[in-house]
Structure 1
Amino acid sequence: MDTLPDQAPVVLVTGAARRVGAEIARLLHAAGARLVLHYRRSAPEAEALAATLNRSRSNSAATVQADLCDSAALERTVAVALERFGRLDGLVNNASSFFRTPLGSIDQAAWQELVGSNFQGPLFLAQAAAPHLRASGGAIVNITDVHAERPLRGYPVYSAAKAGLLGLTRALAIELAPRVRVNAVAPGAVDWPENDQDFPPEERQAIIAHTLLQRIGTPMDIARTVRFLLFDAPYITGQVINVDGGRTAQL
């Protein structure tokens, strides 16, 4: 990316402190972007990542803390990007909560957490970012899930929230056209949840056996697709790319 430092694109990545979000941030930074790294609770990890990126290229990364369920905080999050870098070219809605909610156990707290992080937050962030993305001709990439279209048993609220984000992706592509492109990446089995109870070993093996490539994906698989949609896909909008090793081909 042949741009001067003060002209390099600025991308806000939510949930950027750890796991897939951190890999997305590192790859976008390597592609020349300046980054605003959002986190909710992972302050040490976010600050360490920003420090690493800034050592590589000075004044190229900043951090911001916000709860995605707090709409006012999301407006401030976008304001941080503008205050620090003067522009906004991309938004990656990666942050997500994920836990079981079997029917009969769903309560308002679970609803608010799952819908807030997976659907409400991306909506209000996109709304706050929209004027600035229109000004720059920017792009949004939402991280959905293959289970947005094929719900996962035991996870009805999560699946429904991701389905909402999938619909929002297409709706925003219409609302923000022609200046802003909006697409989604739908991961399959990538970077297992840290809680082993979510997918015990036998369930993990069953998922791998049902995946055409016979292995799980990596955070880099998702990061590469995000980079493509942000920087190398000027005629793609309103689309969802499944990065799932072929799992959905036979679900």
Structure 2
Amino acid sequence: MTAKTALITGAAQRIGAAIARLLHTEGMQLLLHYRRSAGAAEALRDELNGLRPDSVALAQADLCRVEQLPGLVDQVQARFGGLDLLVNNASSFYATPIGGVDEASWDDLMGSNLKGPFFLSQAAAPLLAERQGCIINLVDIHAERPKAGFAVYSMAKAGNAMLVKALARELGPQVRVNGIAPGIILWPDQTMSPADKEALLQRTALQRAGVEQDIARTLLFLLRDAPYITGQIIAVDGGRTLQQ
């Protein structure tokens, strides 16, 4: 995969950073998008460029601002000459209890999880088609089973899941589009008690949390080893969706 190029949204930390590190190890050039995490993004860029000079660049944008998205594609073309992979990873995630949802939360959750990925994919599609590239979305197991208290997030991820299927149909045969639906990979930033965490793990077939690298390795499989897979969403959840 040497000299192939990926654009990863929300790449500064957590799952996005794990994906960036693995793809870089495989030889890819990277444009790492961030919104607010400038310090973490710069540290990751410097780390990876220390291993392979001039292989990683940064781009800042708010995915909810559609007018900014073609600029990300322009930057990757100007810096690396083309695009082989778009990873729609960036996501806002927080509770929206019914009765207290405001329009700002709706716009942010729908924007980062659905609107942004759609319009960025649309902007990137011509470049991806030139190289028979692919798009991989980070979906969520709660796209199928809504998470209590997270109605807007769950609806946005359900739309993201349909985006995978719709784009696979619209952009084929030149561009493949797939998704990954994580289960318990990282505990949310919101405080959870040890008892609540254990209750979730007990409803997971493997009875343990996954790690970011589980997602990164699945993405690498879809990118490198699955040329006849498109329009599919792989649950990487330790068997969480096998149970209620």
TM range, normalised to the smaller chain? Answer: over 0.9
What SS does the aligned partner of 1:153 have?
coil
CA deviations on 1:10-68 (whole Å, 9 max, x unpaired) are: 00000000111000000011111100000000001101111111111111100000001
Amino acid at match of 1:116: G
1:195 and 2:190 equivalent? yes
Amino acid at match of 1:249: L
Residue 227 of structure 1 deviates from its aligned partner by 1.1
- Equivalent positions of 1:23-38 (< 5 A) are 23-38=18-33
Alignment correspondent of 1:115: 110
Amino acid at match of 2:225: D
The gaps in structure 2 that reach 5 residues or longer are: none
Query: Which of these residues, 221, 232, 246, is aligned with residue 225 of structure 2?
Result: 232
CA deviations on 1:154-195 (whole Å, 9 max, x unpaired) are: 000000000000000000000000010000000001111122
What SS does the aligned partner of 2:91 have?
coil
1:153 and 2:148 equivalent? yes
Q: TM-score if structure 1 supplies the norm length?
A: 0.96
What SS does the aligned partner of 1:73 have?
helix
What is the rounded CA distance, in whole Å, between the counterparts of 2:223 and 2:20 in structure 1?
12
Amino acid at match of 2:49: N
- Equivalent positions of 1:1-251 (< 5 A) are 1=1, 3=2, 8-196=3-191, 199-251=192-244
What is the rounded CA distance, in whole Å, between the counterparts of 1:201 and 1:111 in structure 2?
30
Amino acid at match of 1:94: N
What SS does the aligned partner of 2:205 have?
coil
What SS does the aligned partner of 2:107 have?
helix
What is the rounded CA distance, in whole Å, between the counterparts of 1:195 and 1:49 in structure 2?
24
Residue 74 of structure 1 deviates from its aligned partner by 0.9
When the two structures are aligned, how many residues end up with a matched partner?
A: 244
What is the rounded CA distance, in whole Å, between the counterparts of 1:69 and 1:200 in structure 2?
32
Amino acid at match of 2:26: A
CA deviations on 1:98-119 (whole Å, 9 max, x unpaired) are: 0000110111000011000000
Q: TM-score if structure 2 supplies the norm length?
A: 0.98
Residue 201 of structure 1 deviates from its aligned partner by 2.7
What SS does the aligned partner of 1:245 have?
coil
What SS does the aligned partner of 1:55 have?
helix
Residue 203 of structure 1 deviates from its aligned partner by 2.0
Identity of aligned residues (%): 57
What is the rounded CA distance, in whole Å, between the counterparts of 1:231 and 1:72 in structure 2?
31
Amino acid at match of 2:234: I
